A and B are shown apart, each in its own frame.
Chain A
Amino acid sequence: MKGTLKQRVADTRESETFVSLRPYRLDGSDSLVDPVDPTTARIIPADAARRHQLLAFARVGTCVWLAAVHPHDIMGTFMELGLPSSYTYRWCYAEREDLLFAQDRVYGMVDREGGERLGSYLLRTGRITTQDLVAALADQNVDEAGQKLGAILLQRGVITNWNIAEAVASQRGYPLIDLLGQTALTNNLVSSRLDGAWALAEERFWHRHLMVPLDEDEQTLTVAMVDVDDREALEYLEKTAKKRLRVFVTGSRDVVHVLNQRFGATQSLESQLSLFRLRPEDSAATPVSRAQWLWMLALLMVAMVGFILRPVWTGTFLAATVEVVYASVSLFRLMTMSAAIRSNTEYVVTEADMQSVPPTSLPEYTVLVPLYKEADVLPMLTKALQQLRYPKDRLDVKLLLEEDDRETLEVALNARLPSYMEIVVVPHSEPQTKPKACNYGLAKARGEYVVIFDAEDVPEPDQLLKAVTIFREEQNENLACIQAKLSYYNENQNILTRWFTAEYSNWFELLLPSLFRLDMPIPLGGTSNHFRTDVLRALGAWDPFNVTEDADLGIRLHKSGYRTGVMNSTTFEEANSDFVNWVRQRSRWVKGYIQTWFVHMRHPVRLFEELGNVGFWGFQSTIGGMPLQFLLNPILWGLTVAWYVFGSSYLQHVFSGWIYYLGNVSLFFGNVAFIYANLMGVVKAQRWSLAKWCLLTPVYWVFMSIAAYKALYQFFLRPSYWEKTIHGMASEHFASTVDQMGAGM
């Protein structure tokens, strides 16, 4: 077998085998297998191996296998390596990256561009193991979004933000500063001494670039920041301050801590009053205006006088008005819904569409999750959010926890949350509502887009990608919001959840897409609305005094010329399975609609001009019509019974002629049509098992009316009181839905 080295080298010329030097995973095993044998590799000195770009990676008996990027080019200098002549050598081709990575594993890492690389530093300082590094590099290799190694290690939970800060400081020679737990320093930073430095940029700038000013003198502005490569931020500050910049590296949580200290109080106040300051007429802080009170009182007086003087005429007039309004609202809604039955009225984003958006171009996305007394669902919620198909280094998830909710806070603080999830503690103040918490979170948001999810939500994993795809491809600056559909994961828990799901199917499959198609204002659903952050801020965000802030925001978007689309992505929620809890939730919704109607009807003519003809009547039909119908139903049912059972002669005078026929059309045709619309909603949503339950929908309408009267009562007495919906009554469904989503089912 043995021959001269030259002959042995000549043998290798015959071989054109390629080899992968990447660690691989055997089926069913968690650990990685490294194809490179370090002992064999050391046959060749490190510097020679790096110089010649080769590696001895395996030995079988006396045969040593060599990998090189260009084996043929090395032949001439092969003798210089001084390899032991007791072996025969077989050559293989290898990819350059594979080879360099393998050499790093065997000989230790070097920074080829100058300075030590992050992985090498972390490995050397014992922050991570080789296994961690190999796995993270493998992830990075397949990651199309171009995430940095540090971000991937963070997501894997093997290092902290502070570790990265240390590494960056070491690599780049920047000084490192710890801002956490240093009360004196933090107080100094947020004191008026640095007001000039803080004033160099808007609050949003500091949040977006994760940096804070540390000091300022006549020549120098000192800042602490997370990403020292953020040229945009550095140049802006340099230009604005007209001073030399001195940069400290720090951790992201350090920056957030200082920003909270600096802006917390302002943000808290803004979360309450931003809309009120910006557009006081659109705020529900005053639910009913003075003029509206006067109108109501005047109408009441006229009605009373009319009943005393001319009871039949007055009754007839009222009956006619009620019947016309009722029938018009019904007809309008049915016609609207029919648009969605006739053709597709929503954005349909396919996998191919999503792939057309380069992953590296995906922007930062803020996810706001307001939580109040949701300790039980927090673990599943975080799991659901982790399943979102979006580069995690561009996710800015904010769990908005109320200051007085100690239980949830404790659970959240003890949970090992991923690095992109931040706990935001909302200071206690009135009104203690979800919109106020969202406003507070929005003030800290870094994303180009922002979405709201509720505590018990399970969004489809690709929902954020779909929203970005629509925003990108639409290229319509007026499209400010994309509403995902909402549905329930516990639809078959009991009859209430069945009806509730059927109603949601009708709402999200038929009504909202049709409103979009017909260019009418869309009352947004409570969650899964994806906004352009800048538009949302410009509008004053959510009204903290409105208990259906989502619906109100949809109207304000439309008034300002923006549009809301509906997309083919669903967020699954927990349907209320308990009647009392359901009434609580529903009464809040109805109350919110009443609030929204009164707020926007302060100036009906102006509203007509802002919404346009179709939009105005769409608003009346959905926002005004829905609560009105729930409130009128029991009265009309009662009158029907009085007519047919007791044969009231007064009613026969009042409901005479066409009023009688219109009433009957509403009674018979209207009820049937709305039951059928519900049925169509579940068929469109392919919730087949619910179809037969739709036939019993009129019972559900009775429940609606109960909730509506509670809402009316509360509207006048506790307008901004937030009736808390208890979640976690379908935890098994929640968990299984999260698992199904994770498994891509």
Chain B
Amino acid sequence: MGMVASSQELLNQEPNPSQFFPQGVPRAVRRIGLTMALLSGVVSLTTGYLLVFRYHQLFGDAISRAIVGMYMTWDGHFHLAAMGFYWSPLLSLFSVPFALARHWWPPLMTYGFSANILSALFAAVGVYHLYRILWRFGLSQWASVVWTSLYLLNPLILLYSANGMSDAIECAILLAMVDGLVEYLQTDRLGALVRSATWLAAAFMVRYESVPIGACLGIALVLSIWIRTKNWYRAEAIGLALLFPIVMAGIIWMLLGAMIMHNPFYFLNSRYSNGAQISTGSYNFPQVLAARHHLGVTLYQVFRFMDNFWAYAPAAVTVAVLQFRRRTDSIGISLLAASFGAPLLQIVLLYSHRSADWQRFFIYYIPFGFLLFAYVIWKLPIRWRSWFAWMGCFALVASNYAALEAMKSPVWGNGDTSVYQAVFDSQRGSLKDNANYMTLEQGEVEAHYINAHPHLVVLISTFDSPLVMPFIRRPGQIIFSGEPSYDSILENPLGRANAILTVPNSPHSLGADTSINRMYPGLWAGHVSWTKLIHQWKNGDRLYAVLKDAP
């Protein structure tokens, strides 16, 4: 009898073995997976440390996300509104504990190193789940170890598992989501489906690519279950179970946007959105302009970015063929569909000129390439599986090498070439030439000025002066754009702020887009009568005093 003697025994009971698939992952597999995860975390964190402190490679978005955690706790109280509502919130929320700990080790915020730590943590999560999936796909223990290692050692994955950006974190979360889904489809364990759905919702709270990925995945899953079981209600129910959390996460995110920013689509259409930024012309790279409203070029570019992991293409084609030639398999069709999500989004964005073509936007070819490749091997006869798993390693190594080559290319390694050069190129300039590092240094200088003048209460736009705040000693001296009263004070600063920090306001630059320059376009140039220049820094940043005739 599948019955237990007491509730205590139930607690100790391992799940019943399924007829076809083991229900739970055996402890030995979990142990190896966790070891791999630990190693990945260490490797990623070490890489991150070297990037930040040796090579001074700082990434603006990573620092910004980390600093948002600081904004939310700026005056010692928690302010959700200071999150800004343009970044997906999860990483900013995770940064809050680091922000609170910044007094013990300032680089957590000043260098945004908390973001690097988060990257490394999630790298471990991703590797752990990849290992479990490979085990579920029937790869041997050692083949799984090698495959997992090759995943982490993919140059793009390693870089983004270390640099504090959200892209590899998203990959890790998607791997966790797939792990749950594969387990559910193999064993019918409801807990696995819930886990998968929760990870998918978490993916939304990290990056918006999860929306098309989730949509493609959901549609494919529902259709495949419907075709397989001829039971529409069942397919519908499982689809709902998978997608409900991400849909609700989206709705809540929009509700919060509506309540706090008075715009439910703030993350899409605010002046900080991708679309708004690209409209300033700052990201008008030749290939972006070429793709604009040209479907052929757009498709070519999206296809070419498969250089990140060229094994994706043959694996995807093979999986597609398997679905048509054999009985439709929910796992295969779902993986395949999910892998289309991010590229489809990029096709739309590039074609409509709402996004730049950063290499990292195409990082998803890597995890999904690994998964599809492993899936193909799983579908082979058992006697061939091991041989192909080991032979497949060559393809993985070759793909990783191709990714490295792509990274070197200014076109296909857009956004990452500079990092490669900084680390590997002997012809590189000063390590401190990294723009973000320079901004950081500048921020420190400006903060020191404010610190030295304790009577100043300065209005700061965090969009263009984010790196000033980590060095500020007295939070009360700063009123930043994430505060609820910021807009009101900006309009009527008299008696509430006595200085305004502004950046050069030149057309077609990001500086034109700050809240201060939008409100007072002539301020930087000294054309606002109720202000007086106090200080100017060599990068052009200026600090104006608010005079008594100010509004």
Interface residues of chain A, those whose CB is within 8 Å of chain B, are 338, 341-345, 347-350, 353, 356, 469-470, 473-476, 516-519, 563, 644, 657-658, 661, 668-669, 672, 675-676, 679-680, 682-684, 686, 688-692, 694-695
Contact = CB atoms under 8 A, between A and B. Distances in A.
B7 A516 contact: yes
Interface in B237-260: 237-238, 240-241, 244-245, 248, 252, 255, 259
Contacts of B7: 516-519, 563
Contacts of B8: 519
A473 B234 contact: no
A679 B3 CA distance: 26
Residue in A684, A691, A692, A695 with the greatest tally of chain B CB atoms within 10 Å = A691
B1 interface: yes
Interface residues of B, number: 35
Q: What are the 3 closest A-B residue pairs judged by CB atoms, nearest first?
A: A691-B237, A348-B2, A688-B233
A657 B73 CA distance: 12
Nearest to A475: B5
Contact of B245 (A348, A353, A676, A683): A676
Contacts of B236: 688, 691-692
B347 to A, nearest CB: 31
Given A658-B78, A683-B237, A684-B190, A350 B1 contact: yes
A688 B231 contact: yes
B10 interface: yes
Contacts of B10: 345, 516-517
B321 interface: no
A353 B7 CA distance: 19
Contacts of B6: 476, 563
B77 interface: yes
Nearest to B237: A691
A347 B238 CA distance: 25
Given A680-B241, A688-B234, A644 B252 contact: no
A258 to B, nearest CB: 42
Contacts of A342: 191
Contacts of B427: none
A343 B18 CA distance: 13
Given A353-B1, A676-B244, A684-B190, A668 B252 contact: yes
7 contacts: A470-B1, A474-B5, A519-B7, A672-B248, A682-B237, A683-B193, A683-B241
Contact of A675 (B78, B80, B189, B244): B244
B50 to A, nearest CB: 38
B1 A473 contact: yes
B465 to A, nearest CB: 28
Contacts of A686: 234
Interface string B462-489: 0000000000000000000000000000
A341 B10 CA distance: 14
Nearest to B255: A668
A563 B237 CA distance: 34
Interface in B206-253: 231, 233-234, 236-238, 240-241, 244-245, 248, 252
A659 to B, nearest CB: 12
Contact of B240 (A345, A353, A470, A679): A679
B129 to A, nearest CB: 17
Contacts of B38: none
Contact of A344 (B15, B78, B240): B15
A614 to B, nearest CB: 10
Contacts of B233: 688-689, 691
A330 to B, nearest CB: 15
Contacts of A683: 190, 193, 237-238, 241
Contacts of A473: 1, 3
A518 B77 CA distance: 37
B11 interface: yes
B2 A344 contact: yes
Contacts of B189: 343
A672 to B, nearest CB: 4
Contacts of A519: 7-8
Contact of A692 (B240, B245, B252): B240
Nearest to A688: B233
B426 interface: no
Nearest to A644: B259
B16 interface: yes
Secondary structure of the A side of the interface? Answer: helix
A671 B245 CA distance: 12
A688 B237 contact: yes
A537 B234 CA distance: 45
A672 B245 contact: yes
A563 B11 CA distance: 15
A400 B469 CA distance: 77
Contacts of A345: 10
B165 to A, nearest CB: 27
Given A516-B7, A661-B78, A689-B233, A350 B2 contact: yes
Contacts of B78: 657-658, 661
Contacts of B2: 344, 347-350
A350 B1 CA distance: 6
A356 B2 CA distance: 13
Contacts of B289: none
Contact of B11 (A474, A517, A669, A682): A517
B18 to A, nearest CB: 12
A352 to B, nearest CB: 8
Given A349-B1, A473-B3, A688-B231, A343 B237 contact: no
A343 B190 CA distance: 8
B194 interface: yes
Given A469-B1, A680-B194, A688-B233, 16 more contacts: A343-B189, A344-B2, A347-B1, A349-B3, A353-B1, A475-B5, A476-B5, A668-B255, A676-B241, A676-B245, A679-B241, A680-B241, A688-B231, A688-B234, A691-B237, A692-B237
Contacts of A688: 231, 233-234, 236-237
Interface in B337-371: none
Interface string B300-315: 0000000000000000
Contacts of B80: 661
Given A518-B7, A672-B245, A695 B240 contact: yes
B150 to A, nearest CB: 32
Contacts of B13: 343
A348 B3 contact: yes
Given A473-B1, A683-B238, A692-B236, A344 B16 contact: yes
A679 B237 CA distance: 8
Given A343-B15, A695-B240, A353 B3 contact: yes
Nearest to A660: B80
B366 to A, nearest CB: 31
A28 to B, nearest CB: 34
A585 to B, nearest CB: 27
Contacts of B194: 338, 341, 676, 680
Contacts of A517: 7, 10-11
Contacts of B241: 676, 679-680, 683, 691
Contacts of B237: 679, 682-683, 688-692
B52 to A, nearest CB: 32
Interface in B3-29: 3-8, 10-11, 13, 15-16
Interface in B253-310: 255, 259
A695 B240 CA distance: 9
Contacts of A516: 7, 10
A701 to B, nearest CB: 16
B229 to A, nearest CB: 10
Contacts of A679: 237, 240-241, 244
Contacts of B1: 347-350, 353, 356, 469-470, 473
A689 B238 CA distance: 11
A347 B3 contact: yes
A312 B462 CA distance: 35
A343 B187 CA distance: 12
A576 B168 CA distance: 51
